[in-house]
Amino acid sequence: MRAIQFEAFGDPSVLKLTEVARPAAGRDMALVRVMAASINPSDVKNVAGAMSQTTLPRIPGRDYAGVVEAGPSEWLDAAVWGTGGDVGFTRDGTHAEFLAVPVASLRRKPDNLSFEQAASVGVNYVAAWCGIEAAGLTAGETMVLIGAGGGVGGAAAQIARRRGARVIGVDRHAPHPDAPIHDIAEKLIIGSNDLPADIRRATGGKGADVVFDLVGGVMFRNAVNSLALRGRLVEISATGQREVSFDLADFYHNESRLFGVDTLKRDLAASADVLDALTPGFVAGDYRAAPIAETCGLSQAEEAYRKVAAGAAGRIVLQPQT
């Protein structure tokens, strides 16, 4: 089969279109013909050597949608979707014509999503769902999204709306016009010079029940200082700095809580359980995949990776069968 593979870490130039042996279904495994596979920023970081667990040579790629080619009879020819924190890192990934996955991880793709749309859901929505679950966001609460214009921000806003929560979006620059946050946020704060004060003004002095900080690092102090009494802060990134500081006395006097979430700790099977939880929202039309900016074949993968690394707006999706 054709696949994108890298044998050394580096920029996208290390990616090579090559022929490798098609994986076998094997016991408790299924073979999926990959119809679409999106490129995530974490895929670019993986190729660059940022993920210490990655072994080489490796086919990258986390998210996919496809058709079961071999495996249990009840799954044959089924349209499926998936993602995982192991695939593309410690096992070969989705940027190939075929992918071997555990049968336990197979989930049927919602009929109202195309293969390309379904392949654009995984990492963003799993991160958003796990963060919101960690915080225990409930109806009527206020959630502040820092970095609201990105893919995870858009997914989190839609999940929060479905739960009946109030959403306030925060970003350094105005999000893309198609970003879901525009239709969901009660207030959108752009380029704030004093975010905690702006959040308190927007919440009648209370602060946020949940702050979902999708930036981290440089925004951590602003995030923790924006919490209401017994507020919960979720961190999934460490942009700009890994080490942060805050007033510990203020933290415990406020009875604040801090949660870290890492989608890489959820393999294909664990991520499939999250897709189960997300499916009703997609079927109902409450969730939508991020806009697809471009589709291309495996032969254009290097250039596609470069565009993702440069911060392309919208999703770039590989179509391995073309």
In this prediction, residues 265-269 reach a mean pLDDT of: 97
pLDDT at residue number 27: 87
127-155 residue pLDDT tens: 999 999 999 999 999 999 999 999 999 99
Q: How far is CA 123 from CA 45, 77, 167, 220, in A?
A: 14, 24, 21, 22
Residue 311 has pLDDT above 90, yes or no: no
Task: Say whether the peptide bond before residue 110 is cis (omega within 30 degrees of 0).
Answer: no
In this prediction, residues 217-235 reach a mean pLDDT of: 97
pLDDT at residue number 312: 83
Six token digits for residue 178:
């198609």
Class of domain 2-121+289-318: alpha beta
pTM of full prediction above 0.85: yes
**What is the third-level CATH fold of 124-263?**
Quinone Oxidoreductase; Chain A, domain 1 (3.90.180)
In this prediction, residues 271-300 reach a mean pLDDT of: 96
Alpha carbons within 13 A on the beta-carbon side of 262: 7
Are 113 and 21 in contact by the 8 Å Cβ rule? The answer is no
66-121 residue pLDDT tens: 999 999 999 999 999 999 999 999 999 999 999 999 999 999 999 999 999 999 99
The distance of Cα 88 from the centroid of its chain, to the nearest Å, equals 14
* Angstrom distance (rounded) from CA 50 to CA 309: 13
Q: How confident is the model at residue 46 (pLDDT cuts 50, 70, 90)?
A: very high
**Count, residues in the chain:** 322
pLDDT at residue number 271: 98
Where are the domains positioned within the chain? 2-121+289-318, 124-263
Domain 2-121+289-318 matches domain 124-263 at the CATH topology level? yes
Q: How confident is the model at residue 290 (pLDDT cuts 50, 70, 90)?
A: confident
- Mean pLDDT for the chain? 97
- DSSP letters of 206-251? --EEEEEESSBGGGHHHHHTTEEEEEEEEE--B-S-S-----HHHH
